[in-house]
Amino acid sequence: MSPENYLHLAALLFTIGACGVLVRRNAIVVFMCVELMLNAGNLALVAFSRMHGNLDGQIMAFFVMVVAAAEVVVGLAIIVMLYRSRHSASVDDASLMKL
């Protein structure tokens, strides 16, 4: 199977993630959509790595996984903190600074 199919899948996943970030209200779900986008990037990197026959893309994918894990730590900490003080993780409720 041609590696290009994986690219199409990656682009599709990335788009689903981006749309999810824009339309979902719950901060956790928004964050999961961001993770989906990162993993779509990973898939594209690995597919390209295969097409080019070098390992740069796969190494990059490993680093992205580590970064994504670090992002989960920081992100969940922030979102849980928000939830505990407001009893809601909705990104629409957090609007104290709206003019």
* Interacting residue ranges for another protein, rule: CB under 8 A: 7, 10, 14, 17-18, 21, 27, 30-31, 34, 37-38, 40-42, 44-45, 47-48, 50-57, 59-60, 63-64, 67, 70-71, 74-75, 77-79, 81-82, 84-86, 91, 94-97
Residue 91: closest CA among 11, 99, 3, 83: 83
| Residue 5 C-beta: closest distance to another protein, Å | 14
| Residue 7 C-beta: closest distance to another protein, Å | 7
| Residues 46/60, Cβ–Cβ less than 8 Å | no
